[in-house]
């Protein structure tokens, strides 16, 4: 049975783009957005959990986020996780609620966020290249087994490369758009 599956490669590459878009949505541009806290993971109950599994996040005001922690014992770990997430937010603890004022973005902070967007984009590019490598390896294995000819392998490798180039162009466009948004240009 052939190992190469173009639909699987397309699905995995699309997953890398969706992951990148989620990461980029978490980068703030001066307004409160609940997706800002998506990358935060909290160490509770002996495991790392996404913030959304231990608290409710809302944006009651344009420049304020509110995190309602469900278990009173998890307020400290949630506070620590938000502070150490590198988002530049300092929670104000009020019982089981953490208030997160969104400060104005300084030029220095904008540059840091633009670098972070570039880092996310590079991670997505690496993921796509890994998917491409898997596809190429599967094609070579199929040829070795005699399931496809050398010409067919080369034709399909060209298809995989075109798909990869297209997805990387989408990644670059998404990253450039977010950097432009962050830097206010």
Pairing of strands 92-94, 64-69: unpaired
CA 44, 54, 124, 28 torsion: positive or negative? negative
- CA pair distance 129, 13, nearest whole angstrom: 9
Q: What is the distance between the alpha carbons of residues 15 and 124, in angstroms, rounded to a whole number?
A: 9
Q: Which two tokens stand for residue 38?
A: 């998506």
- What does the pLDDT look like over 118-161, one tens digit per residue? 999 999 999 999 999 999 999 999 999 888 899 999 999 999 99
Say how far apart CA 108 and CA 22 lie, in whole Å.
23
Q: Greatest CA separation found in the chain?
A: 67
Q: What is the pLDDT at residue 151?
A: 92
Instruction: Tell me the per-residue pLDDT of 21-54, one tens digit each, with 9 for 90 and over.
Output: 888 877 766 667 777 787 788 988 888 888 888 8
CATH number for 34-101 (one of 3.40.640.10, 3.40.630.30, 3.30.1360.40, 3.40.50.1370): it is: 3.30.1360.40
Q: What is the pTM of this model?
A: 0.69
Quick one: which H or E segment has residue 45? none
Token representation of residue 146: 């005699």
pLDDT band at 90; cut points 50, 70, 90: confident
Confidence of residue 2 (pLDDT cuts 50, 70, 90): low
CATH homologous superfamily of 6-27+106-183 equals Ribosome-recycling factor (1.10.132.20)
């Amino acid at each position: 049975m052939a190992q190469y599956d173009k639909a699987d490669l397309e699905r995995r590459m699309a997953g890398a783009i969706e992951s990148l878009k989620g990461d980029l949505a978490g980068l703030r541009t001066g307004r409160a957005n609940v997706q800002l806290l998506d990358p935060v993971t909290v160490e509770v109950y002996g495991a790392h959990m996404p913030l959304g599994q231990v608290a409710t996040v809302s944006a009651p005001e344009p420049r304020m986020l509110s995190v309602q922690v469900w278990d009173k014992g998890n307020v400290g770990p949630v506070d620590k996780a938000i502070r150490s997430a590198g988002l530049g937010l300092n929670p104000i603890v009020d019982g089981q609620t953490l208030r997160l004022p969104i400060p104005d973005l300084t030029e220095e902070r904008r540059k840091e966020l633009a670098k972070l967007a570039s880092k996310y984009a590079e991670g997505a590019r690496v993921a796509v290249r890994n998917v491409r490598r898997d596809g190429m390896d599967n094609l070579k294995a199929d040829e070795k087994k005699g399931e496809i000819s050398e010409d067919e392998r080369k034709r399909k490798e060209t298809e995989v490369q075109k798909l990869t180039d297209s997805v990387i162009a989408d990644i670059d466009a998404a990253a450039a758009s977010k950097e432009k948004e962050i830097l206010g240009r």
